[in-house]
Amino acid sequence: MIRRLHVRGWRAFEKLDLELNDGVTFVIAENGVGKTSLVEAAAWGLYGDLADVDARAARRAGSSIAAVELELELPDGRTLSIARQVDDRAQSMSAELDASALSDDDVGGVLADTFGASRDFLSKTTLIPSRAVAEQAIGSFELGSHLSNIFGVDSLESAAEQLRRMQVDAEATAKRVRQAARRAAKDLSKLRSALSEAESAEGQANAALAAARAPGQTSA
């Protein structure tokens, strides 16, 4: 969990240092005070560009930089510290795990090993992206719908629906084929019966013809 969040030059906050304890933390304030900004700052600090936050645009008016520092306590008790900073030219990051320096890729590896998921997945599920937060102004936010959109489940559901329609069409076609096959089987049975009768009649006619041609037979 995030134990400390420090921001400088971030939107409404010239400087803010938050210490977070165990349990659930609620941030309650009037609209426009900066609740969403805090979520975005934490997301960018932890995930960088994967957070889908424009850190340069978040820089406070009149500030030369926007900076976020956070400390994340991992489940095994270790402390992961990450600092990110952006100015007009570039952005930078530094990180430490229990005083050992890490690269950005190293941070991704630590998070993946610790939580059993890629940093990309975590960035979309642990801290809601800014666009999803903004959507609350349009309507009620549904996590299931959000995650379906983020991870492409919507397209999978669309493909599944298309497959269902194809299955229904295939079953209807198969039914028509089975009905046609049954009719054909009946017709074939009738043809075989007629053929059998014709062969029997032909046999009788041939036998009568042979008897008529036998020596000693006279015509009436």
Give residue-wise pLDDT tens across range 46-55. Answer: 999 888 889 9
The confidence score (pLDDT) of residue 140 equals 46
d(CA 14, CA 34) in angstroms, rounded, equals: 12
For residue 216, pLDDT beyond 70: no
Instruction: Find the angle CA(118)-CA(124)-CA(126) to the nearest 5 degrees.
Output: 90
Give the residue with greater pLDDT, 214 vs 180: 180
Q: What are the sequence ranges of the domains in the chain?
A: 2-141, 152-210
- pLDDT over 70 percentage in the chain: 85
d(CA 58, CA 51) in angstroms, rounded, equals: 13
Q: Does domain 2-141 have CATH number 3.20.20.70?
A: no
The residue written with tokens 């084929």 in the block is: 177
The amino acid that residue 123 corresponds to is S
Give the residue with greater pLDDT, 45 vs 24: 45
What value does the mean pLDDT of the chain take? 84
The confidence score (pLDDT) of residue 145 equals 64
Residue 204 CA: distances (Å) to CA of 21, 191, 197? 106, 20, 10
For residue 63, pLDDT beyond 70: yes
pLDDT in tens, 99-143: 899 999 999 999 999 988 888 888 888 876 545 545 544 444 455
The full DSSP string for 70-138 is EEEE-TTS-EEEEEEEE-SS-EEEEEEETTEEE-HHHHHHHHHHHHSS-HHHHHHHTS--HHHHHGGGT
